[in-house]
């Protein structure tokens, strides 16, 4: 089967971000960017499906700036066969990304689409569900285990009380949780080979997709700062403070 | 304005998360209706009708809605949504699973995990693992929103007397099926609703050592949480994880034991009223947010703490 994986270029998860002084957003100038960690897991899962002989071709797609080519090349180095960049200048909302991805799904006709459950910048946790809605496909969100069984896909999902397993008709949409797998590193020979793999660039307009959004960010602020408290010397002192000063026990 | 709240329920009654979501709806203003979708949910509807401030309860009781599969429940909500100004659900795994599907079918953007209501169309929500707070305005005809439950004080579960109305619509997409579930059993309070949370990290060393935290928690009437490191190492099941990718908690007292304090963990607990850190590494980042820090070996400090409280 053909597997489509959507990835996003985001600020590296180790970076402590700073809010811009004019409250227009987060300062991303000269900040290290990487593939969103949940997207790495999505790529890894697709590659493992290919290694098992389940997947035949892996197409990786990103909707974002020209620089997202770097992350697409990373995915190619990890084992994807070819890449598509839907080039969009501004930070897009989830629905616009889902619409762009739907256009790619219509064209590529994959049997399985894998996305991360959320991007660590916008923290929306929406795109996979929205893509499932727009394509009319079943969704297996927050997946910690994925198994193809004939024409069905068994997905074990992480839910609030534990785990839940659902059977989805293929084609289907899956979003990854952290425990689905442990992503591999790209080796240098694979990084070199990835430079020769095909990377196609399209514009949202070519796909007939509108990027309009009903959401507008008015401002972005730093959260209320929480300052360091005091260090206590002993457990007895800690209990005394919790009882008499903080009054929480 | 009329607001539809999608109820979260467990064990035949509405879950606490529903009460926080009704509180968010009350802040927006207008009539609040609650939707209970599922199979054999009569008891849930009765408990929803008692929630203070709820004007009406809609019950969609149908086999298709069992286990609230999003492929079936989303079209139901979309059909009902046309008569509402807002559709709200708690940002639980169910809410996060269903509402974006609803939003896309309505062709509107969703707003995730709001922590405050500024006006009927403007809301605040954390981004970048809680390191920035965005103020977002929605121009959608129907505003689709998930609510971070720790951002709103729960309304009273008793005192209301809403009318209960059955919804006949049955949507069955037939593209997904429930196979089974494996729920973690615990007698301790639910993590997101507990007044005190004791959490362990990689410093616990192994899963067996979590027994120290369980006995301390039982003495305090607390829930037990964990960092991602502890979950990934297999010490405890993943539904105990606190953080950006796990559960968000804001208890009165949060005791972090053997947790270094990575930003992903802080995103899940930094709104706690009082934070206590017990760690033998004096340089651990957790001490930068802890109200009370104790630099000590947790295997000595935790049993002593249990003895003295």
What is the full DSSP assignment across B95-159?
A: HHHHHHHHHHHTT--EEEEE-EEEETTEEEEEETTTTEEEEEEE--SSEEEEE-GGGSPPPPSSS
- Asked if B270 has any chain A CB less than 8 Å from its own CB, the reply is yes
Query: What does the mean pLDDT of chain B come to?
Result: 96
Q: Nearest CA of chain A to the CA of B304: how many Å?
A: 7
Mean pLDDT within B163-168: 94
- Asked if B153 has any chain A CB less than 8 Å from its own CB, the reply is no
Residue the block writes with tokens 């979003």? A175
- pTM: predicted TM-score of the whole model, two decimal places: 0.95
Q: B65 Cβ partners below 8 Å, 6+ apart? A: B37, B38, B39, B72, B73, B76
pLDDT score, position A246: 86
According to the 3-state scheme, what is the secondary structure of chain A? CEEEEECCEEECCCCCCCECCCCCCECCCCCCEEECHHHHHHHHHHHHHHHCCCCCEEEEEEEECHHHHHHHHHHHHHCCCEEEEEECCCCCCHHHHHHHHHHHHHHHCCCEEEEECCCCCCCCCCHHHHHHHHHCCEEEEEEEEEEEECCEEEEEEEECCEEEEEEEECCEEEEECHHHCCCCCCCHHHHHHHCCCCEEEECHHHHCCCCCCCEEEEEEECCCCCCCCEEECCHHHHHHHHHHCCCCC
Residue of A16, A160, A231 with shortest CB distance to B93? A160
Phi, psi at residue B118, to the nearest 5°? Answer: -90, -40
All residues of chain A having their beta carbon less than 8 Å from the beta carbon of residue B289 are 226, 228
**Contact at 8 Å (CB) between B44 and B9?**
yes
Q: Do A138 and B288 touch (CB under 8 A)?
A: no
- Asked if B121 has any chain A CB less than 8 Å from its own CB, the reply is no
Q: Do B244 and A120 touch (CB under 8 A)?
A: yes
Q: Nearest CA of chain B to the CA of A20: how many Å?
A: 10
Rounded CA gap, B106 and B125, in Å?
22
- Chain B residue whose CA is closest to A157: B181
Q: Is the peptide bond between A171 and the residue preceding it cis, with omega within 30 degrees of 0?
A: yes
B6 membership: H or E segment, kind and range: strand B2-6
Q: Do B74 and A133 touch (CB under 8 A)?
A: yes
User: Which of B:128-147 have CB within 8 Å of A?
Assistant: 128-140
Buried b / exposed e along B76-97 (16+ C-beta atoms within 10 A): bbbebbeebbbbbbbbbbbbbb
Phi, psi at residue B19, to the nearest 5°? Answer: -65, -40
Q: Which two tokens mark A146? A: 């994925």
Three-state secondary-structure class, residue B178: strand
Residue of B133, B220, B239 with shortest CB distance to A161? B239
All residues of chain A having their beta carbon less than 8 Å from the beta carbon of residue B292 are 229-232, 238, 241-242, 246
pLDDT score, position A91: 80
ipTM rounded to 2 decimals: 0.95
pLDDT band at B132 (very low <50, low <70, confident <90, very high): very high
What B278-284 contacts at long range (C-beta under 8 Å, 24+ apart), as own/partner pairs, is B278/B302, B278/B305, B279/B203, B280/B203, B284/B259, B284/B260
* CB-count exposure of residue B293 (10 Å: 0-12, 13-18, 19+): buried
Q: Nearest CA of chain B to the CA of A197: how many Å?
A: 32
Three-state secondary-structure class, residue B183: strand
Residue B137 pairs in a beta bridge with A216, B122
Q: Length of chain A, please?
A: 249
pLDDT score, position B169: 87
Looking at the predicted structure, is the pLDDT value of residue A234 above 90?
Answer: yes
Residue of A11, A123, A129 with shortest CB distance to B97? A129
Q: Nearest CA of chain A to the CA of B16: how many Å?
A: 13
User: Which of B:157-196 have CB within 8 Å of A?
Assistant: 173-184, 196
Q: Which two tokens mark A43? A: 């790529």
Rounded CA gap, B132 and B246, in Å?
19
Phi, psi at residue A158, to the nearest 5°? Answer: -85, 115
- Asked if B108 has any chain A CB less than 8 Å from its own CB, the reply is yes
Mean pLDDT within B205-230: 96
Three-state secondary-structure class, residue B215: helix
User: Which of B:250-269 have CB within 8 Å of A?
Assistant: 252-253, 263-264
What is the tens place of the pLDDT at every residue in A35-74?
Answer: 999 999 999 999 999 999 999 999 999 999 999 999 999 9
Looking at the predicted structure, is the pLDDT value of residue B72 above 90?
Answer: yes
All residues of chain B having their beta carbon less than 8 Å from the beta carbon of residue A170 are none
Looking at the predicted structure, is the pLDDT value of residue A226 above 80?
Answer: yes
Residue A201 pairs in a beta bridge with A85
pLDDT score, position A227: 80
Q: Which two tokens mark B28? A: 């927006």
What is the tens place of the pLDDT at every residue in B285-301?
Answer: 999 999 999 999 999 99
Looking at the predicted structure, is the pLDDT value of residue B59 above 90?
Answer: yes
Q: Which of B87, B92, B127 to mutate to test the interface with A (most CBs of A within 10 A)?
A: B127
Three-state secondary-structure class, residue B90: strand
Residue of A19, A120, A130 with shortest CB distance to B132? A19
Looking at the predicted structure, is the pLDDT value of residue A180 above 90?
Answer: yes
Handedness of CA A217, A218, A224, A225 (dihedral sign): positive
Q: Do A118 and B134 touch (CB under 8 A)?
A: no
**Contact at 8 Å (CB) between B261 and B288?**
yes
Rounded CA gap, A35 and B70, in Å?
28
pLDDT score, position B136: 98
What is the tens place of the pLDDT at every residue in B120-131?
Answer: 999 999 999 999
Nearest by Cα to B70 from A45, A125, A145, A96: A125
Rounded CA gap, B235 and B204, in Å?
8
Looking at the predicted structure, is the pLDDT value of residue B184 above 90?
Answer: no
Looking at the predicted structure, is the pLDDT value of residue B262 above 90?
Answer: yes
What is the tens place of the pLDDT at every residue in A109-165?
Answer: 999 999 999 999 999 999 999 999 999 999 999 999 999 999 999 999 999 989 999
Mean pLDDT within B101-129: 97
Rounded CA gap, A135 and B281, in Å?
51
**Contact at 8 Å (CB) between B89 and B76?**
no
Q: Nearest CA of chain B to the CA of A148: how many Å?
A: 14
Q: Nearest CA of chain A to the CA of B90: how many Å?
A: 12
Q: Nearest CA of chain B to the CA of A208: how many Å?
A: 16
Looking at the predicted structure, is the pLDDT value of residue B75 above 90?
Answer: yes
Question: What is the rounded (10 degree) CA torsion for A191, A196, A201, A207?
Answer: -100
pLDDT score, position A183: 96
**Contact at 8 Å (CB) between A64 and A75?**
no
All residues of chain A having their beta carbon less than 8 Å from the beta carbon of residue B131 are 16-17, 26, 222-223
All residues of chain B having their beta carbon less than 8 Å from the beta carbon of residue A215 are 109, 111, 136-140
Looking at the predicted structure, is the pLDDT value of residue A90 above 80?
Answer: no
* CB-count exposure of residue A67 (10 Å: 0-12, 13-18, 19+): exposed
Three-state secondary-structure class, residue B301: helix
Q: B118 Cβ partners below 8 Å, 6+ apart? A: B124, B135
All residues of chain A having their beta carbon less than 8 Å from the beta carbon of residue B180 are 164-165
């Amino acid at each position: 089967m053909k597997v489509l994986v959507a990835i996003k270029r985001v600020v590296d998860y180790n970076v402590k971000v700073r809010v811009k002084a004019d409250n227009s957003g987060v300062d991303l100038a000269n900040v290290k960017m990487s593939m969103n960690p949940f997207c790495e897991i999505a790529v890894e899962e697709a590659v493992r499906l290919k290694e098992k002989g389940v997947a035949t071709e892996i197409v990786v797609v990103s909707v974002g700036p020209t620089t997202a080519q770097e992350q697409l090349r990373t995915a190619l180095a990890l084992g994807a066969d070819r890449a598509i960049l839907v080039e969009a200048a501004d930070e897009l909302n989830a629905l616009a990304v889902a619409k762009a991805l739907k256009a790619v799904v219509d064209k590529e006709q994959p049997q399985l689409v894998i996305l991360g459950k959320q991007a660590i910048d916008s923290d929306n946790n929406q795109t996979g569900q929205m893509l499932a809605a727009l394509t009319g496909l079943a969704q297996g969100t927050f997946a910690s285990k994925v198994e193809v069984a004939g024409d069905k896909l068994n997905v074990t999902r992480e839910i609030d009380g534990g785990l839940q397993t659902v059977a989805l008709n293929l084609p289907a949409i899956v979003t990854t949780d952290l425990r689905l797998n442990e992503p591999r590193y790209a080796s240098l020979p694979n990084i070199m080979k990835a430079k020769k793999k095909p990377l196609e660039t399209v514009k949202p307009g070519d796909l007939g997709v509108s990027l309009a959004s009903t959401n507008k960010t008015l401002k972005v602020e730093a959260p209320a700062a929480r300052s360091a408290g005091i260090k206590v010397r002993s457990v007895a002192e800690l209990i005394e403070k919790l009882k008499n000063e903080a009054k929480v026990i | 304005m009329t607001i539809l709240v999608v109820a979260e329920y467990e064990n035949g009654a509405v879950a606490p998360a529903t009460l926080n979501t009704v509180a968010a709806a009350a802040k927006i203003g207008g009539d609040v209706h609650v939707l209970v979708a599922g199979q054999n949910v009569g008891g849930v509807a009765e408990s929803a009708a008692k929630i203070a401030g709820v004007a009406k309860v809609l019950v969609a009781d149908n086999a298709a809605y069992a286990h609230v599969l999003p492929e079936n429940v989303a079209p139901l909500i979309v059909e009902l949504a046309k008569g509402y100004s807002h559709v709200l659900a708690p940002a639980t795994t169910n809410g996060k699973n269903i509402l974006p599907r609803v939003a896309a079918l309505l062709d509107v953007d969703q707003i995730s995990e709001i922590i405050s209501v500024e006006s009927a169309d403007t809301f605040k929500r954390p981004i970048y693992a809680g390191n920035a707070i965005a103020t977002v305005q929605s121009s959608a005809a129907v505003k689709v929103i998930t609510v971070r439950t720790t951002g709103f004080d729960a309304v009273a579960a008793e005192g209301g007397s809403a009318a209960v109305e059955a919804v006949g619509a049955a949507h069955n997409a037939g593209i997904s099926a429930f196979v089974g579930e494996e729920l973690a059993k615990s007698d301790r309070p639910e993590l997101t609703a507990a007044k005190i949370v004791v959490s362990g990290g990689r410093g616990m060393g192994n899963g067996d050592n979590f027994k120290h935290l369980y006995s301390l928690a039982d003495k305090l009437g607390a829930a037990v949480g964990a960092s991602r490191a502890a979950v990934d190492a297999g010490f405890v099941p993943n539904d105990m994880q606190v953080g950006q990718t796990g559960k968000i908690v804001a208890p009165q007292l949060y005791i972090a034991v053997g947790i270094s304090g990575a930003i992903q963990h802080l995103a899940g607990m930094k709104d706690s009223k009082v934070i206590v850190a017990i760690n033998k590494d004096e340089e651990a980042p957790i001490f930068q947010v802890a109200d009370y820090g104790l630099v000590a070996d947790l295997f000595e400090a935790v049993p002593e703490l249990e003895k003295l409280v």
